[in-house]
Amino acid sequence: MKIAIIDDEQQAREDLQQALQLCGIKNVIQAEVQMFTSGENFLQVFKPEDFQLIFLDICMEGINGIKTALAIRQQAERLPIIFLTSSADYALEGYQVFPAGYLLKPINRAVPQLKDILHHCLPDLMANIINVQRHGRMLQINIERIAYIDVQGGRRVGGRRGSVIHLQTGETMAVDTSYTEAATALEQRDFVECYNRLMVNLAAVETLMADSFVLKNGEQLPISRRLYRETAHEYMEYLLRK
């Protein structure tokens, strides 16, 4: 898990990081935490697939927390945002971005509240994780980071072939987990097999063509004639749900 803390007060950032360590939740304690001093600094580097949880101060110099959250929502509709505030008066305004919760400063007095919010968020966060084997070790990958999976370049491990996970950033990751195992884990998650041993994340698709998908990162994936009608139907159903 990767967590962002965005607050222009150093003490508030440090208090929250310490509170996360005291919350007693393994996935949170082991998470990678990145600190940002302003909404501008965060938005300059923000990619939806890079973070699973965001803590965001409402009152900051420059772009305030509400405007920062609105910019985040343009790229990530479901990414959990937890607002930090010194006054409950800002709560109503913040609800337009559907936050996962509010923490009232000082944070070191809000650890029980933090635990409640995290317990509420974590089932949804963990539901977006796929477990794969890589070099004999278990690896968790956020499903929203995946553009597609296939077997091109996959290694043979223990007499069977692994698969390749292609991230939306363009990076590739060869894993020991077979294509069949990975596809089974993803088939109920808005992924569809559009070609033989090639399964695409419909959320990564920019355009449906006559014989292919064009992805948001510019890649083009073929759609087989045999699977085209079913694939197009699944994509249209996905668009209607969204």
**pTM, 2 dp:** 0.60
| Burial of residue 188 (number of CB atoms within 10 Å: 0-12, 13-18, 19+) | exposed
Alpha carbons 208 and 105: distance in angstroms, whole number: 47
Tokens matching residue 105:
């400063």
Neighbours of 90 (CB within 10 A): 16
DSSP helix, strand, coil percent of the chain (3-state; round to 5): 40, 30, 30
- pLDDT the model gives residue 227: 95
- pLDDT the model gives residue 97: 75
> How do the pLDDT tens digits run along the chain, 242 residues long?
789 999 999 999 999 999 999 887 877 888 899 999 999 999 999 988 788 899 999 989 889 999 999 999 988 888 899 999 887 665 555 556 778 888 888 888 888 899 888 888 876 666 677 888 888 787 878 888 899 999 986 666 555 678 999 998 888 989 999 999 999 888 878 999 999 999 999 999 999 999 999 999 999 999 999 999 999 999 999 999 87
By the 8 A CB rule, do 175 and 164 touch?
A: yes
Which residue is it, tokens 């772009």? 63
> What is the torsional sign of CA 188, 194, 196, 201?
negative
Which of 199, 200, 196, 224 has its CA nearest to residue 210? 224
- Do the domains at 2-127 and 132-241 have one common CATH topology? no
Domain boundaries, the chain: 2-127, 132-241
Tokens matching residue 131:
């477990």
Superfamily of domain 132-241: LytTr DNA-binding domain (2.40.50.1020)
At the topology level, CATH places domain 2-127 in Rossmann fold (3.40.50)
